[in-house]
Chains A and B, each alone.
Chain A
Amino acid sequence: MDISRRTVYISQWFMVQRGEKGMWDYTDKVLDHFRNPRNVGTLKDPDGVGEVGSMACGDALKLVFKLDKRGRIADVKFQTFGCASAIASSSALTEMIKGLTLEEAEKVTNQDIANFLGGLPEQKMHCSVMGREALEVAIANYRTGKTSKKILEGKVVCHCFGVTEDEIVRVVRENRLTTVEQVTNYCKAGGGCGKCRGEIEAIITRIRGEEPAAAVAPQSCPRLTTLQKIRLIEETMEKEIRPALKKDGGDIELMDVVDNRVVVALRGMCANCQVAQFTLKDVVEAKLREFVAPNLVVEEAHP
């Protein structure tokens, strides 16, 4: 295989892997929930209503739920004004909280919503935060009967987007944010005129100072038992990886899973392919990291 042939081959792989995704690098799950949103609509006589965001901000979400006799969320619906990831985050949230008690639902964080979707682009994390906030307001509405509009408590830091100090503190703590830019991505604060950026910086410094050094650890991965992990790896290979390889007359076999190492063997055309290393890292590993756990490393079995 000469160099030019190889280049064409790699670019075809990129098209298979990245094709038709458009402007943002959304995961397939984000696009699926955007194209086929679950639980759209409203409910008659809902037990809780949560409305957050505004049209000025460019996204808004109205979440309603009804409880069953045992206090579990029996039905939940949403309406969203916003971009693809805002619609997908809302849809994901409704799927995640169905059947939970309010105490359980309260524990859902914006990171959980992002993880459910296989991740969100950093600049779109505020969509997951909007989901968590709507849920919080809806639960508060059920408990206190207070108006469902988001009640601004505490001092407003960002006047362009109406973000309070409490909200900034919360996204910084929950997502271990370290820069003003991240705070903007997560809750929009600082993304307008920029006058409050100094104040946000001060909040970050204060919170970082409170925490022991060990707390600034990398994001924890969703915990899976070894058996769950292997099942998920097999499922991902079957659905996400094998069909692409088979188009080129290749195949893949799972040999072993040791901690975060996934040992595989390439078969058929792939076995002798010049770009097998590329396939392993940029296709197999990328897919497994997206759908199973972000710390997985793929290795080729030695014959």
Chain B
Amino acid sequence: MRTVYLDNNATTQPAPEVIEAMLPFFTELWGNPSSMHVFGGQVRRHVELARAQVAELIGADPSEILFTSCGTESDNMAIRGAVEAASPPVNVITTRVEHPAVLEPCRMLKERGVPVIELEVDDKGQIRLDDLRLALSRGRAVVSLMWANNETGVIFPMAEATELVKASGGIMHTDAIQAAGKLPIDVRRLPVDLLSLSGHKLHAPKGIGVLFIRRGTRIRPLLLGGHQENGKRGGTENVPYIVGLGHACELAARALGDEMTRVATLRDRLQAGIQAACPDVRLNGDEAQRLPNTLNISFQYIEGESILYHLSDCGIAASSGSACTSGSLEPSHVIRAMGVPFMAAHGSIRFSLSRYNTAADIEYVLKNLPPIIKKLRAISPFAAP
């Protein structure tokens, strides 16, 4: 059976070149990069090369790149590390649609007495800069705004928001995990202080992340117990994965132009095809400010998990904001924060593409999806007869 993978905001296929680059570091080049002898020295050079490759993708200096174990660790360290290092104490500002890796640390800080403000979003999933301005007026803050949303692909106005935060004397963190490799990122032009990346969202394997820390930013380490990463993160470096991430960033930088345009064209074809073939669908998010690879669309009258199971029977992988797919009873906090009605929220499906998708993949989905929607609507008590 043909398989079509359209769940790249969950994880991506590791690039074969990336895996190939990693392999020697499991076999011959297994030294500890901190060691003085030749075993360590030759490995250290590769770690530093990877650091430069990552820095290049986002316009940073290699000394500003810190390797972590995952995007969640990067987000935790940025928020908790910046708040703990701040003196006098600061407020925290974030949004209601962040990833749990940001929301949970913020809520933990709130329980410990740190004032936390969660900004609302409008029906397109956008924040209002006036809300941010008002929140910033309450005192110096650590601000965490995602660059692009994992569920809807909505892109926040980073340039304007960062300018406001910096003008107020605040510390700006952005979770750029979904943006990296899909949008150009240049920290020379965008004065964020902290920025999180994750390897497995850009065709490196799981288990590697990055926190960009602008020189001069005060931050408390999360992991103590070693001099590694300039004393900012203890723990022997995960060399094979660091090398893999370096290669993945180089490949991502190359794919940013033409390849991402091609991906956007495929996504637009998918969207237009679904809208033409299926009545009563609802687009979730901001069409004008959206990642090139993401389509979040609700099918009225039917539930997301049922759609996913039928798609899976055809070899198509996607995901849903419905309650049932997560095992919780409430639909996605992102979709609900946008004020999407319950029924549309339960029937929301996210298709997220990558540079490995082809036009034939999209045609295959457009052939198989409409009959599934029709079949489920025939069972639904809410669908028009």
Task: Spell out A's residues near B (CB within 8 Å).
Answer: 20, 22-23, 31, 34-35, 37, 40, 51, 55-62, 79-84, 86-87, 123-124, 161, 184, 188, 191-192
Q: How far is the CA of A192 from the CA of B330 in the complex (A)?
A: 7
Could you say which of B325, B342, B381 has the most chain A C-beta atoms within 10 Å of its C-beta? B381
- The interface on chain B, measured as residues whose beta carbon lies within 8 A of the other chain's beta carbons, has a size of 28
Q: How far is the CA of A135 from the CA of B109 in the complex (A)?
A: 48
Quick check: B309 and A161 within 8 Å, CB to CB? no
Give 7 closest A-B pairs by Cβ, nearest first.
A191-B329, A83-B324, A83-B305, A79-B381, A55-B343, A62-B381, A56-B342
Given contacts A83-B303, A123-B327, 5 further A-B pairs with CB under 8 A are A20-B312, A23-B305, A31-B309, A55-B382, A79-B379
Residues of A within 8 A of B328 (CB): 191
Please name the residue on chain A nearest to B330 by beta carbon.
A192
Could you say which of A84, A86, A123 has the most chain B C-beta atoms within 10 Å of its C-beta? A84
Residues of B within 8 A of A83 (CB): 303-306, 322, 324-325
Q: How far is the CA of A173 from the CA of B310 in the complex (A)?
A: 36
Whether a CB of chain A sits under 8 angstroms from the CB of B378 is: yes
Chain B: minimal CB distance from A216 (Å): 27
Q: Can you list 26 A-B contacts with CB-CB less than 8 angstroms, sorted by A residue number?
A: A22-B308, A22-B312, A31-B309, A34-B306, A37-B379, A51-B381, A56-B342, A57-B329, A58-B324, A60-B381, A61-B381, A79-B379, A79-B380, A80-B381, A81-B381, A82-B306, A83-B303, A83-B304, A83-B305, A83-B325, A84-B305, A86-B303, A87-B306, A188-B329, A191-B330, A192-B329
Residues of A within 8 A of B381 (CB): 51, 60-62, 79-81
Whether a CB of chain A sits under 8 angstroms from the CB of B203 is: no
Quick check: A82 and B303 within 8 Å, CB to CB? yes
Q: How far is the CA of A58 from the CA of B303 in the complex (A)?
A: 7
Residues of B within 8 A of A80 (CB): 379-381
Quick check: A81 and B325 within 8 Å, CB to CB? no
Whether a CB of chain A sits under 8 angstroms from the CB of B313 is: yes
Q: How far is the CA of A188 from the CA of B324 in the complex (A)?
A: 12
Residues of B within 8 A of A84 (CB): 305-306, 309
Please name the residue on chain B nearest to A161 by beta carbon.
B329
Whether a CB of chain A sits under 8 angstroms from the CB of B114 is: no
Whether a CB of chain A sits under 8 angstroms from the CB of B346 is: yes
Please name the residue on chain B nearest to A54 by beta carbon.
B342
Whether a CB of chain A sits under 8 angstroms from the CB of B67 is: no
Could you say which of A62, A80, A192 has the most chain B C-beta atoms within 10 Å of its C-beta? A80
Cross-chain contact of B331 among A23, A40, A58 (Cβ < 8 A):
A58
B350-384: CB near A (< 8 Å → 1, else 0) gives 00000000000000000000000000001111100
Chain A: minimal CB distance from B330 (Å): 6
Interface positions of B from 296 to 318, Cβ below 8 Å from A: 301-306, 308-310, 312-313
Residues of B within 8 A of A79 (CB): 379-381
Quick check: B325 and A23 within 8 Å, CB to CB? yes
